[in-house]
Amino acid sequence: MVTFFNKIYGCQANFADSQGLAKFLVELGCKQVMAEKDADLIIINTCAIREKAEQKLYSYIGRLAELKKDKPHLKIGVIGCVASYKKKEFYEYFECISFVHGAREEISALQGYLAELILNIQTAKSLFLQNPDSKIKYLKQDRRLKKFFDKQATGSDQISISRLNLTEQIKESNTREEEQIKEDDTTESEQISDVRAMINIMTGCNKYCSYCIVPFTRGREISYPMSDILNAVKKDIDRGAKDITLIGQNVNSYIDPQTGARFPELLQKVASLEGDFWVRFISPHPQDMTKDLFQVMANNRPKLTAFLHFPLQSGSDTILKAMNRNYTSAEFLEKIGWIKELMPDAGITTDIIVGFPGETEKDYLATREVMEKVQFDQIYSFIYSKRKFTKAYNMPDDCPQEEKARRLSELQMRQREISLDQNRKNIGKTLKVLVEKELEPGKLLARTEGNARVLITSNNANLVGSFVGVKIESTTVVNMSGTVIVL
Ligand code: SAH
Ligand code: SF4
Ligand code: F3S
């Protein structure tokens, strides 16, 4: 049997794509494994959103090349956003890579290729197992890797050579939330739990925010037919999924290619499906946010969760304009007002970029002011990273990196206090949560309707996949903790 491992960098869109591929491979008779060393096929889904995401990827591929020395039938493929524009480089510099498939290319072509590849791996694997001495050496490969990194280190998309240790086991944190606490600028995703299903309702983006590479890596916006989405949701519910996330770079510009239905209608239809489950979505664009969407959410609770990821990016109108975001901070706050009015207990999170070209201290303080007004539950914050193809690439930027780092660090420090305050409000309360997975024996990870993390002390791993009541006893910035009181 051919085993595969999915490595996922990047956003939920990549999650959903990798989850889809995993289902496809399982249907072909393959088995998903949780460690690279156990896999015959490794598919790396890549993210280009910030430079650091790319750096981590190259370091990771370097380590995989080592694995291949002992397992010649191991195949490694690269898909996703970096694959969209660095195909040539991957083939040229990484001999260990067998295929590269960009995020804009047809998924059916990849599936066809994989179906054939699995047969080849199967044959090579049996031959290798019969005669392990036939091991092929991959010495040339290291030389090529080194050459690539040397070249990159002198180029504009710099890779720091000192970060690359091909045999080192880099400690990687499990969740985006945990990473945010430790360091800025990383995107790496946690393993998919079967309880959660990610469904892409569209791909691409037409917004062209001036800092963002996504419209170039994923292409123009394409919405998928509502009937297909509803079928996919139904399938996931039948499979046992309890938390469905509908994903798009800009979900509220969704338009059903068959009926012309818009996003609120899609949500309403998903909420009308049979079953006991939660639905959330990411991300809406503040420019396109209308009150009727909040109304649909409020009318369909708890199936539609009171959770909103609402990306602010900056609180300064000058910077928002330069970012091409098409809203002002006042408009953003007005829309936050709508959700607070309709769902006062909603979980609200956001994305913020500091140090966009031209950002002054005053602009930065405007962002801090919006944070104070909204009191977000969680913020994903990043230092601006210059990306190829984008409009901001050529914008003059005279703010030193250390100053940007200071702004980010102060902003994150303040957010930790706010997040802690938000979590503390729940101490002593009983919250309905969905148990997502067993983190370790005796400790379960669950989430609230507002997407907040709750650690449960319990030896009952059978609770995974159930909604339970948890009395919150203590909290940190990232995790509330408690015990199950209602079954
Ligand atoms: N479509 C989503 C965001 C996708 S990217 C939206 O519009 O909200 C996720 C986040 O990465 C963005 O919200 C932004 O905060 C951040 N980001 C995107 N490009 C960036 C860049 N060049 N530098 C730093 N952060 C960036
Ligand atoms: Fe990027 Fe803006 Fe599109 Fe989000 S809306 S994916 S930030 S271009
Ligand atoms: Fe990254 Fe592509 Fe998502 S660049 S954030 S994986 S759309």
Whole-prediction pTM value?
A: 0.88
Looking at all shown ligands, the one closest to residue 54's CA atom is 3
List of domains in the chain: 3-157 (3.40.50.12160), 179-424 (3.80.30.20), 430-486 (2.40.50.140)
- Closest Cα partner for 31 from 113, 121, 104? 121
What pLDDT is stored for residue 52 in this prediction? 86
CA 212 / ligand 1 centre spacing (Å): 6
Pocket test for ligand 3, best of 187, 198, 353 (most atoms within 8 A of CB): 187
Taking CB atoms and a 6 Å cutoff, what residues make up the pocket around ligand 1? 11, 49-50, 211-212, 214, 249-250, 283, 285, 311, 313, 351, 353, 382, 384-385, 387
Q: Whose alpha carbon is nearest atom 4 of ligand 2? A: 249
What does the pLDDT look like over 309-323, one tens digit per residue?
999 999 999 999 999
Ligand 3 within 6 A of 47 CB?
yes
Pocket test for ligand 1, best of 200, 212, 354 (most atoms within 8 A of CB): 212
- Distance (Å, whole) CA 371 – CA 464: 34
Ligand 3 within 6 A of 218 CB?
yes
Ligand 2 within 6 A of 196 CB?
no
Q: Whose alpha carbon is nearest atom 1 of ligand 2? A: 212
What pLDDT is stored for residue 191 in this prediction? 56
What does the pLDDT look like over 106-127, one tens digit per residue?
989 999 999 999 999 999 888 8
Adjacent-strand bridge partners of 97: 76
Looking at all shown ligands, the one closest to residue 390's CA atom is 1
Q: Per-block average pLDDT, block size 10, for the chain (487 residues)?
A: 95 91 94 95 96 88 88 94 94 92 93 94 88 55 42 38 27 40 41 83 96 96 97 94 96 97 97 96 95 96 96 98 98 97 96 98 98 97 96 96 97 98 97 95 96 96 96 97 85
Q: Residue 69 burial (CB < 10 Å; 0-12/13-18/19+)?
A: middle
Listed as own residue / partner, the contacts of 90-98 with beta carbons closer than 8 Å and 24 or more positions apart are 92/148, 93/144, 93/145, 93/147, 93/148, 94/61, 94/65, 94/141, 94/144, 94/145, 94/148, 95/65, 95/138, 95/140, 95/141, 95/144, 96/61, 96/64, 96/65, 96/68, 96/138, 96/141, 97/61
CB 392, CB 357: distance < 8 Å = yes
CA 239 / ligand 3 centre spacing (Å): 27
In 3-state terms, what secondary structure has residue 112? helix
What pLDDT is stored for residue 384 in this prediction? 98
**325 CA: nearest ligand 2 atom:** 2
Q: How far is CA 436 from the centre of its chain?
A: 17
**Sign of the CA dihedral with 232 first, then 235, 237, and 239 last:** negative
CA 31 / ligand 3 centre spacing (Å): 26
CB 128, CB 71: distance < 8 Å = yes
What pLDDT is stored for residue 341 in this prediction? 96
